Chains A and B, each alone.
Chain A
Amino acid sequence: MKDNSDFITLKNITKYFPGTIANDHINFTLGRGEVLALFGENGAGKTTLMSILYGLYQPDEGEIFIEGKRVKIRSPHDAMKYGVGMIHQHFTLVPVHTVVENIILGTESAYLSNINIKKRVKKIKEIGKKYGLEVDPFAFVGQLPVGMQQRVEIIKALYRNAQILIMDEPTSVLTSQETEKLFHFIHDFKAKGHSVIFISHKLNEVMEIADRINVLRDGKIVGDVSRNEATESQLTKMMIGRDLMIPERNSTIFTNHKEMLKIENLTIVGDRKSKAVDDLSFNIKEGEIFGIAGVSGNGQEELAQAICGLRKVKSGHIILSDKEITNKNALSIIQQGVGYIPADRHKEGLVLDMSIEENLFLKNHSDSSFINYGFLNQNKIQQKAKTLMKNFEIKATSPTSKAMTLSGGNQQKVAVAREVNIGSKVLVAVQPTRGLDLGAIDYVHKTLLKEKKEGKAILLISTEFSEIMGLSDRIGVIYRGKLLKIISREDAKVDEIGLLMAGITEGQANEKK
């Protein structure tokens, strides 16, 4: 197990990106023969931190020590010199080259002389035997299955004598059998005194493979626990973070209300050609907030996009107050009164280079009441912007200043104001408070509750546990594209939902005991 001397030490590593701090004074250590898991939400800063260790980024502050010596890692080449190898989430292979060509790429110093391929192949085969990573050296990488490609990536690192492997979400592309094989390899590798840094946001994998777990949130390490002491609910809590203050709300009776949005046996094929949403059904009534809890990447985004006409549905139905809207285009769904607050407001929700006014108008571009003979009615647009800015307390120097000049909270208010205005029937809110300060969070929550009172059906998708618990009338827990359970708020228990988020149903939990 862990050696007394630390192999790698990171001290006060800080990395700024314009507008944000990706890593905030991070300290961590890695011992020899240790598997360390970096656990945290998407965007917590895990990959940035590892890219610094691998020399892809330079830290703005802080120091890296390897075997007690202070080092500068300026490039991946430097990193490999110190025995650090990285398996990226998206592979860095050349699909039209063979396995051996991919592996030796960049390690040969010959320019004109012939490369002795046989010798190289022999070394690759030796590595394969040593670690149980057999692969045909002359196969073309593009024709190999994904699990095999990952194996090539690993061999590539081992060929360069890596003693530390950084694996960035290595299982996200693998089947469960392939995952098992990968874990087998990690055990072997560890047994030989080497170390692994395992980046993941999947709780069960982290619990299975790691010796020690560091939890990252908002660019900071918020927990450093050994596997034996860690519990699933504790880790989930650390990852999710702060307790939220949820505004007072009236318990509403909506049993008599009519169904506003109905999802029936919905199946969506995701970008990786696998089922992102799998035979999922639920309904939302007027004046109800339906919360979907889950670790991100379990099909939430795909579900929201499908409802809003941004992603094609493979089978099943989406019904908006008795009207089928399955696979309708985004514009017609907007015009039927579905508002959508997307998770990434900068990428999907706002046009930062446009003015606040234009951003508030974003979804009215084809609304005939604002257009005369193709020309925009600027007065009316300004009027609308003024009203919305006043109603939603958007603080800005002027309605014509660019959206990028606003603070994060006010940017989100622009998106929320617009979607509330558009969504007369249904509001789909995905991570509506991500990255906001407490005041803005409170504001968004109040707005959602107000819209609920107005009788709108609200689908709240969030990884903020307390947000879901505080706002929802009913909670569905999503795992691998399936709703494992739908619980009404009164019956919801934190522990149960935490376990469900990790894919552990009641039956399985009992079995374990």
Chain B
Amino acid sequence: MKKNNRDESITVKSELYVKVEDNNFLLNFLPVFSVLFGLLLSGLMMLLLGHNPLIVYSNMLNYAFRDIYNIADIFAKATPLILTGLAFGFAFRASLFNIGAQGQFYIGAVLAVGFALKLSSFPMVLVLFICFTMSLVGGSLWAAFIGYVKARFNANEFLVSMMLTYVAIAVMNFLLGGLLKETKGEYPQTDVIPESGWLPSLIPHTRLHWGFVLALLVALIAYLILWKTSLGYKIRMVGFNRDAARYAGINVEKIFVIVFFISGAFAGIAGFTEVNGMQHMLIEHFNPLIGAEGIGIAILGGAHPLGIVLSAFLFGALKVGGNLVVQTSRIPASIIGITEGLVILSVIFSYFIRDKLIILRSKKKLVSKERKRL
């Protein structure tokens, strides 16, 4: 019997356990390459539509960075995306899927607009504080329910969070048709909220408001929770290895609820920044893609707060530049959505390729090691 091969005959069989000590330049910059690849693909789509993608993209860049107003708008557009991106990314760190940020966002928005309308006589600081708190708590509780049914009944959080979005839309539409309906009573929308409920602008004569700073702060808080607190340590442990977490005495079910509570808070705050900072009212079919885009942004940003912030900037720029290109040329508006989609798809695909590469490499290494031994 050979006795020296013991260390190789570990009982693991899962492909998850692959050594990734050798970091490769190419692997690290894969997200950047894949963003470029996504832009290339949508460039091909533009070619099919009879437009020169080089001109389209250069116009997009020019428009996006034309003046301070447009540049500020990039960050204003990025603000809610940072928050919904964090909502998905935070839960993802615990290997949980909160794809219902849209619904939590709506609940936050409804509460923010409701309190801003009713508290018109209060001082601004108080109104903003109450709107902020209510949208946060509303989003949290809405999402905590998902965590609860997951913990209690082992319900599929994917499904529950998605379905709850439809419930939230129905609740919002119901209120817009009644309790919150504008005084004119014409459309399913609210009155404009009094200025005491407006988030002050960050740069004068632009649409950028203090909600942007708030979003950056929330990203920082998300980072601190995940990597500096004992709660975050537990959350990440549950995310990486639920069994080991249970063996370490962690109440995994409780973590589910907490994670959804926090994740929902982030999405709820997005409702506050959009209502009090941007639209100053609530309209039916308001920002219907903000949750879905948040998922894409979280994936693009590797579920890391910093990556999420940067990805949200990219999407903000695509939106601002894209909108103006669409308005000034004959390119269909859907091309922006297609570009966003292709960028996200190529990033997801790049993760797949990266994993395959790593597995292939570790396998090669093992085979050659084994050959040497024989």
**Bound Cα distance from A309 to B246, whole angstroms:** 10
CB atoms of A219 and B362 under 8 A apart: no
Give the chain B neighbours of A375 by CB distance below 8 A. Answer: 228-230
Q: Which of A2-10, A157-165, A184-192, A347-355 contacts B (4 or more CB under 8 A)?
A: A347-355
Q: Which of B58-66, B108-116, B231-239, B325-333 contacts A (4 or more CB under 8 A)?
A: B231-239
Task: State which residues 218-244 of A face B: CB under 8 Å.
Answer: 218-219, 222, 241-242
Residue of B nearest to A219 (CB): B9
A207 interface contact, C-beta 8 A: no
B13 interface contact, C-beta 8 A: yes
**Contact flag A18-B366 (CB < 8 Å), given A310-B246, A349-B244:** yes
CB atoms of B370 and A404 under 8 A apart: no
CB atoms of B11 and A43 under 8 A apart: yes
B204 interface contact, C-beta 8 A: no
B184 interface contact, C-beta 8 A: no
Question: A296-339 interface mask toward B, CB cutoff 8 Å, 1 = contact, 0 = none?
Answer: 00000000000011100000000000000000011111110000
CB atoms of A436 and B7 under 8 A apart: yes
Question: B2-15 interface mask toward A, CB cutoff 8 Å, 1 = contact, 0 = none?
Answer: 01111111111111
In the assembled complex, 30 residue pairs joining A and B whose CB atoms fall closer than 8 Å, in A order, are A16-B363, A16-B366, A17-B13, A18-B15, A19-B12, A20-B12, A21-B8, A219-B9, A222-B1, A241-B1, A310-B247, A329-B251, A330-B246, A330-B249, A331-B249, A347-B243, A348-B247, A350-B241, A352-B16, A352-B17, A353-B241, A354-B240, A365-B250, A366-B230, A374-B231, A407-B7, A435-B9, A435-B10, A435-B11, A436-B7
**Bound Cα distance from A48 to B11, whole angstroms:** 12
CB atoms of A22 and B13 under 8 A apart: yes
Give the chain B neighbours of A218 by CB distance below 8 A. Answer: 5-6, 9
Q: What is the interface of chain B, defined by CB distance below 8 A to chain A?
A: 1, 3-21, 228-231, 233-234, 236-237, 240-241, 243-251, 359, 362-363, 366-367, 370
Question: A5-36 interface mask toward B, CB cutoff 8 Å, 1 = contact, 0 = none?
Answer: 00000000000111111100000000000000
CB atoms of A376 and B8 under 8 A apart: no
Task: State which residues 366-389 of A face B: CB under 8 Å.
Answer: 366, 370-371, 374-376, 378
CB distance from B316 to the nearest CB of A (A): 31
CB atoms of B249 and A334 under 8 A apart: yes
CB distance from A401 to the nearest CB of B (A): 8
**Bound Cα distance from A183 to B273, whole angstroms:** 71
Give the chain B neighbours of A366 by CB distance below 8 A. Answer: 230, 249
Residue of B nearest to A401 (CB): B21
**Contact flag A362-B248 (CB < 8 Å), given A18-B366, A437-B6:** yes
A340 interface contact, C-beta 8 A: yes
Count A-side interface residues using an 8 Å CB cutoff: 62
CB atoms of B363 and A371 under 8 A apart: no
**Bound Cα distance from A335 to B249, whole angstroms:** 9
Residue of B nearest to A347 (CB): B243
CB atoms of A351 and B240 under 8 A apart: yes
Complex partner residue of B367 from A16, A241, A242, A354, CB under 8 angstroms: A16
Task: State which residues 420-457 of A face B: CB under 8 Å.
Answer: 434-438, 440
Inter-chain pairs besides A219-B9, A365-B249, 12 sampled, C-beta below 8 Å: A19-B8, A19-B366, A242-B1, A242-B3, A310-B247, A333-B249, A334-B249, A340-B247, A347-B243, A371-B230, A434-B11, A440-B7
A72 interface contact, C-beta 8 A: no
CB atoms of A363 and B230 under 8 A apart: no
Give the chain A neighbours of B1 by CB distance below 8 A. Answer: 222, 241-242
Give the chain B neighbours of A20 by CB distance below 8 A. Answer: 8-13
Residue of A nearest to B250 (CB): A365
**Bound Cα distance from A21 to B21, whole angstroms:** 20
CB atoms of B250 and A331 under 8 A apart: yes
A358 interface contact, C-beta 8 A: yes
Task: State which residues 115-133 of A face B: CB under 8 Å.
Answer: none
**Contact flag A363-B228 (CB < 8 Å), given A350-B244, A405-B21:** no
Give the chain B neighbours of A43 by CB distance below 8 A. Answer: 11
* Residue of B11, B13, B234, B236 with most partner-chain A CB within 10 A: B11
**Bound Cα distance from A331 to B231, whole angstroms:** 15
CB atoms of B248 and A363 under 8 A apart: yes
**Bound Cα distance from A16 to B5, whole angstroms:** 14
Give the chain B neighbours of A376 by CB distance below 8 A. Answer: 228-230, 233
Give the chain B neighbours of A358 by CB distance below 8 A. Answer: 233
**Bound Cα distance from A87 to B175, whole angstroms:** 58
CB atoms of B17 and A404 under 8 A apart: yes
Complex partner residue of A365 from B5, B234, B363, CB under 8 angstroms: B234
CB atoms of A19 and B237 under 8 A apart: no
**Bound Cα distance from A374 to B363, whole angstroms:** 42
**Contact flag A347-B248 (CB < 8 Å), given A20-B13, A60-B367, A404-B19:** no
Give the chain A neighbours of B18 by CB distance below 8 A. Answer: 18-19, 404
A344 interface contact, C-beta 8 A: yes
Give the chain A neighbours of B237 by CB distance below 8 A. Answer: 351, 354, 362, 365
Give the chain A neighbours of B248 by CB distance below 8 A. Answer: 330, 334, 362-363, 365
Give the chain A neighbours of B370 by CB distance below 8 A. Answer: 16, 21
Give the chain B neighbours of A294 by CB distance below 8 A. Answer: none
**Bound Cα distance from A365 to B246, whole angstroms:** 12
**Bound Cα distance from A440 to B237, whole angstroms:** 26
Give the chain A neighbours of B247 by CB distance below 8 A. Answer: 308, 310, 330, 340, 342, 348-349
A74 interface contact, C-beta 8 A: no
CB atoms of A435 and B6 under 8 A apart: yes
CB atoms of B246 and A351 under 8 A apart: no
Complex partner residue of A346 from B9, B12, B21, CB under 8 angstroms: B12
**Bound Cα distance from A405 to B363, whole angstroms:** 15
Give the chain B neighbours of A17 by CB distance below 8 A. Answer: 12-13, 15
**Bound Cα distance from A370 to B7, whole angstroms:** 34
Complex partner residue of B17 from A346, A374, A409, CB under 8 angstroms: A346
* Residue of B5, B21, B233, B359 with most partner-chain A CB within 10 A: B233
CB distance from B370 to the nearest CB of A (A): 7
A408 interface contact, C-beta 8 A: yes
CB atoms of A404 and B20 under 8 A apart: yes
* Residue of A308, A330, A365 with most partner-chain B CB within 10 A: A365
CB distance from B355 to the nearest CB of A (A): 11
CB distance from A219 to the nearest CB of B (A): 6
CB atoms of B19 and A408 under 8 A apart: no
**Bound Cα distance from A365 to B230, whole angstroms:** 6
**Bound Cα distance from A218 to B9, whole angstroms:** 6
Give the chain A neighbours of B359 by CB distance below 8 A. Answer: 18
Give the chain A neighbours of B9 by CB distance below 8 A. Answer: 20-21, 218-219, 435
Question: A382-402 interface mask toward B, CB cutoff 8 Å, 1 = contact, 0 = none?
Answer: 000000000000000000011
**Bound Cα distance from A165 to B31, whole angstroms:** 49
Residue of B nearest to A361 (CB): B233
Give the chain A neighbours of B12 by CB distance below 8 A. Answer: 17, 19-20, 346
